[in-house]
Amino acid sequence: MATVTFDNATRVYPGTERPAVDALNLHVEDGEFLVLVGPSGCGKSTSLRMLAGLEDVNAGRILIGDRDVTDVQPKDRDIAMVFQNYALYPHMTVADNMGFALKIAGTQKSEIRSRVEEAAKILDLTEYLDRKPKALSGGQRQRVAMGRAIVRQPQVFLMDEPLSNLDAKLRVQTRTQIASLQRRLGVTTVYVTHDQTEALTMGDRIAVLKDGLLQQVGTPRDMYDTPKNVFVAGFIGSPAMNIGTFPVLEGYAQVGKARIAVPRDVVTGLTAEDKGHVTIGFRPESLDVVPQGTPDAIPVEVNLVEELGSDAFVYGSLTNEFGAAATVHSGAGDAQVVVRVDPRQVPAKGETIWVRIRTGEQHLFHAGSGERISHV
């Protein structure tokens, strides 16, 4: 087992100016499950491949434990890429399917058997060891593939979108399996996905990347509660956070037809770059439906209601007094806000509801830089 350290690790593809990964500093603890997440082109897969030795590191270093592996061949790094190839061999027993890589490496027969048995116990495959893969269910076959990586006892598991070619149902199942298996094994794992739900549900910590730059790293709770900037705020959470930029007048942000009080220290902290505006974020689940006339309440015109049984979401618009849509965006698109409402009291389309951001659940960002404004 080992820690993993990216020390100012940089990858610049030949012929490009902007680094694909720009001075990444990240430390993964021993046994930790770290998820690299971000939109396509953010540098998450490149970072993983740098760790695997598949991409050159143009500046900085990568360490596994205390060992600098920056210039070490992939096969000598003691890592395992999981799920890269998990076609099973039909004529070999499950045990041989799991252990054949050890056999190639010249490991003693008895040692192979004991490692395979140990892995099978963790994977609930003990009773199938002497059977052929044909006798297994889809999920069991997947576990045999995991077993292949486990018996090698690598220092680090690397997984690059391993669920992307599974159907939705199997994806959710396998997601849970991988996460719980990783906890049982305690092997340091770096996992890449573009799916923030996968990241939130699987990772001990999440690192969000964008344009080759690390935006924030923290626990799922950190990312959800205190996103460091507007990008992370909009990326983490489903449905996505409502985010809008509003002018600040006399200590109030002008949100559509309503006004929201902005703390004094935030107002004084605004910079010239912000041009008298503040960016406010509020999650669909941070809004309460309140009677009209309640202080700080915002009117929302209902465009659509999505009922999911346990929840219901209102998709609506914020209009200003001139009838124009406010500059707000959400997972539902520009000029739309999403509000979670009581599924037993659903408003009708066309109706106007009044909502208020729950105390302490609003997120304030500089309109200029997009950075979070911390306040008391």
Q: Which residues pair with 325 in a beta bridge?
A: 319
In the bound complex, what is the minimum distance in angstroms from residue 102's beta carbon to other proteins? 11
In the bound complex, what is the minimum distance in angstroms from residue 84's beta carbon to other proteins? 6
User: Strand 312-317's sheet: what is its strand order?
Assistant: 287-290, 352-357, 298-307, 312-317, 337-341
Residues making contact with other proteins (CB under 8 A): 13-15, 52-56, 73-75, 84-93, 96, 100-101, 103-104, 134, 164-167
Tokens of 246: 């509003």
In the bound complex, what is the minimum distance in angstroms from residue 86's beta carbon to other proteins? 6
Q: What is the dihedral of CA 100, 105, 108, 114, to 10 degrees?
A: -50
**Closer to other proteins by Cβ: residue 40 or 268:** 40
**Closer to other proteins by Cβ: residue 167 or 250:** 167
Backbone angles phi, psi at 68, to 5 degrees: -80, 110
In the bound complex, what is the minimum distance in angstroms from residue 368's beta carbon to other proteins? 36
**Closer to other proteins by Cβ: residue 56 or 301:** 56
In the bound complex, what is the minimum distance in angstroms from residue 209's beta carbon to other proteins? 19
**Closer to other proteins by Cβ: residue 13 or 354:** 13
**Closer to other proteins by Cβ: residue 173 or 319:** 173
In the bound complex, what is the minimum distance in angstroms from residue 142's beta carbon to other proteins? 9
Interstrand relation of 333-334 and 337-341 (parallel, antiparallel or unpaired): unpaired
In the bound complex, what is the minimum distance in angstroms from residue 309's beta carbon to other proteins? 19
**Closer to other proteins by Cβ: residue 168 or 308:** 168
**Closer to other proteins by Cβ: residue 195 or 285:** 195
The answer to whether 255 touches 244, Cβ cutoff 8 Å, is: yes
In the bound complex, what is the minimum distance in angstroms from residue 50's beta carbon to other proteins? 9
Backbone angles phi, psi at 260, to 5 degrees: -120, 130
In the bound complex, what is the minimum distance in angstroms from residue 175's beta carbon to other proteins? 15
SS3 assignment for the chain? CCCEEEEEEEECCCCCCCCCEEEEEEEECCCCEEEEECCCCCCHHHHHHHHHCCCCCCEEEEEECCEECCCCCHHHCCEEECCCCCCCCCCCCHHHHHHHHHHHCCCCHHHHHHHHHHHHHHHCCHHHCCCCHHHCCHHHHHHHHHHHHHHCCCCEEEEECCCCCCCHHHHHHHHHHHHHHHHHHCCEEEEEECCHHHHHHHCCEEEEEECCEEEEEECHHHHHHCCCEHHHHHHCCCCCCEEEEEEEECCEEEECCEEEECCHHHHHHCCHHHCCEEEEEECHHHEEEECCCCCCCEEEEEEEEEECCCCEEEEEECECCCCCECCEEECCEECCEEEEECCCCCCCCCCEEEEEECCCCEEEEECCCCEECCCC
In the bound complex, what is the minimum distance in angstroms from residue 15's beta carbon to other proteins? 6
